[in-house]
């Protein structure tokens, strides 16, 4: 009887520190996963996934779109936030209420109360896609944290130091895991290793990542 009840209730999310200022909230987004994926689809209906080019001319292996007031873009002119989708010239889709709430709750749980994201980058990884080590530094206020939500197939996340040469820690990120970094960890290098061929019942071969920022 007790065992039955236990199996029916959703797992409690738990917090796993990575370093000072950074934490993984295991399965924090799991309970709302189907709704989150529906919202991603709706965002992508208005602003389709595209593979952008780095300032150096390389096509990124990750397909991206954005929602919220500000979208993150990259092209020959550089990395930046802008209010227009460069493909369509229109504003980015609004940030779904659920996204905003989830990001604010995760930030608060990690010790960053009052986080109000105005930008969400939606990354879609297919088999073979990866993201090299980088810092998130196109935002105005580094006092605001980054909230990163993983959905779908698992990947190895790398979390390094404040210099590119610092040896990164490796953390496996699975469906529903949320990473929050801020404060002393805000400018740490991070990235993900190549996505392996895999299957998730809700996303198929894909891994999605929602990265919430306060851009302005
Ligand atoms: C990012 O740093 O923008 C993405 C990280 C991830 O996919 O987990
Ligand atoms: Fe990043």
Whether 5 is in a domain gets the answer no
Whether 6 is in a domain gets the answer no
Whether 8 is in a domain gets the answer no
Q: What number does the ligand 1 atom closest to the CA of 155 have?
A: 8
pLDDT score recorded for residue 9 = 57
Q: What number does the ligand 1 atom closest to the CA of 157 have?
A: 8
Domain residue limits at 182: 14-213
Q: What number does the ligand 1 atom closest to the CA of 121 have?
A: 3
Q: Please choose, from the candidates 187, 129, 193, the residue with its C-alpha nearest in 3D space to the C-alpha of residue 160.
A: 187
- What are the residues whose beta carbons fall under 8 Å from the beta carbon of 141, sequence distance 6 or more? 214
Q: What number does the ligand 1 atom closest to the CA of 179 have?
A: 8
Q: Please choose, from the candidates 37, 61, 65, 67, the residue with its C-alpha nearest in 3D space to the C-alpha of residue 50.
A: 65
Q: Report the 10 Å Cβ neighbour count for 43.
A: 24
pLDDT score recorded for residue 6 = 46
The pick from 126, 192, 212, 213 for probing ligand 1's pocket by mutation, whose C-beta has the most ligand atoms within 8 angstroms, reads 192
Mean pLDDT by 10 residues, the chain (216 residues): 49 87 98 98 98 98 98 97 97 98 98 98 98 98 98 98 97 98 98 98 98 98
Q: Tell me how far the alpha carbon of residue 1 lies from the centroid of ligand 1, in angstroms.
A: 41
pLDDT score recorded for residue 13 = 73
Whether 3 is in a domain gets the answer no
pLDDT score recorded for residue 162 = 97
* Euclidean distance between CA atoms 143 and 145, whole angstroms: 7
* pTM greater than 0.75 (yes/no): yes
pLDDT score recorded for residue 11 = 56
Q: 162-179: b or e for each residue (b if 16 or more CB lie within 10 Å)?
A: eeeeeebeebebbbbbbb
Q: How far is CA 120 from CA 11, 95, 131, 169, in A?
A: 26, 7, 17, 25
Give the ligand at the shortest distance from the Cα of 192: 1
pLDDT score recorded for residue 107 = 98
Q: Residues enclosing ligand 1, CB less than 6 A?
A: 121, 123, 131, 148, 150, 157, 190, 192, 209, 211
Q: Tell me how far the alpha carbon of residue 143 lies from the centroid of ligand 1, in angstroms.
A: 19
CATH number of the domain to which 120 belongs: 2.60.120.590
* Euclidean distance between CA atoms 81 and 75, whole angstroms: 12
Give the ligand at the shortest distance from the Cα of 123: 1
* Euclidean distance between CA atoms 197 and 191, whole angstroms: 18
Whether 148 is in a domain gets the answer yes
Q: How many domains does the chain have?
A: 1
87, 44 contact by CB (below 8 A): no
The pick from 52, 54, 123 for probing ligand 1's pocket by mutation, whose C-beta has the most ligand atoms within 8 angstroms, reads 123
* Euclidean distance between CA atoms 175 and 178, whole angstroms: 9
């Amino acid at each position: 009887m007790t065992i039955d009840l236990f199996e029916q209730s959703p797992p409690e999310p738990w917090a796993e520190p990575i370093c000072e200022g950074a934490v993984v909230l295991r399965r924090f987004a799991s309970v709302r996963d189907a709704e989150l994926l529906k919202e991603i689809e709706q965002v992508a209906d208005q602003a389709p996934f595209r593979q952008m080019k780095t300032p150096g001319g390389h096509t990124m292996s990750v397909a991206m779109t954005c929602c919220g007031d500000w979208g993150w873009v990259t092209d020959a002119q550089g990395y930046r936030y802008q209010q227009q989708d460069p493909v369509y010239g229109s504003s980015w889709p609004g940030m779904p209420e659920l996204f905003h709430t989830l990001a604010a709750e995760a930030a608060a749980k990690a010790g960053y109360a009052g986080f109000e994201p105005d930008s969400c980058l939606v990354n879609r990884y297919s088999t073979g896609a990866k993201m090299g080590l980088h810092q998130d530094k196109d935002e105005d206020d580094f006092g605001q944290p980054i909230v990163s939500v993983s959905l779908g197939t698992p990947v190895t996340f790398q979390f390094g130091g404040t210099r590119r040469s610092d040896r990164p820690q490796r953390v496996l990120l699975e469906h529903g895991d949320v990473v929050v970094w801020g404060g002393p960890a805000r400018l740490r290098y991070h990235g993900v290793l190549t996505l392996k061929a895999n299957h998730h019942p809700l996303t198929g071969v894909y891994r999605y990542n929602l990265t919430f920022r306060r851009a302005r």
